[in-house]
Amino acid sequence: MNYPHPIIAREGWPFIGIALLAALAVTGVVGWLWALPLWLILVFCVQFFRDPARPIPDGANSVLSPADGRIVAIEPVRDPWLEREALKISVFMNVFNVHSNRSPVDGEVRQRWYHPGKFFNADLDKASTENERNALWLRTRSGHDVTCVQVAGLIARRILCYVDTGAQLQRGQRYGFIRFGSRVDVYLPPQSRIKVTIGDKVSASATILAELE
């Protein structure tokens, strides 16, 4: 099911509500100056849980970024989930990025894996193999296999994924969320044409990472 875009992600409402009530209560009792840290926390929560609608580029073979952030890895690797040679593209999300995760391709979820792990800084390479992570194997309509992996970070302690085996996803469709800093790894067929470089800033659904051959 496509998730509507109400500007603020549904995962954030409890945090925003608690921060707002606390800030109002302290302001009413001792004044706004003492409550200022709570108002700043409220502002942080609102910006962290924002979930804007994004344009989706045309192109059936385009692989879109599943997350906002910065490209920290582009390398040939062994896909640990499908046991194949692959190209890995990693997107690092800091606490100021949108943390809504969206499908990079049109396709069917063939399998889902969850692996508990550690909480190293998601900017490090070892986060892909040692941190808590949730992986989706997506089979595109043209028969390409794409693995999309949500990876927890140093502060992130909660990976949320709302789809399972058999789900049909459309490019740009919202399927999960990671709270408070993390990364997403995308494993592509080796012959894919990469469209980004290390250090590029990317936007979920709006940025094309690669073209499938």
Active-site residues, by number, are: 182
If DSSP codes are grouped into helix, strand and coil, which group holds residue 67? coil
CA of 196: how far to CAs of 31, 54, 94, 203, in Å? 49, 19, 19, 12
Report how far residue 177's alpha carbon sits from residue 55's, in angstroms, rounded to the nearest whole number.
19
Question: In 104-195, at which residue ranges do the beta strands (DSSP E only) sit?
Answer: 107-115, 133-140, 145-152, 158-161, 168-169, 174-179, 182-188, 193-194
Widest CA span in the chain: 63
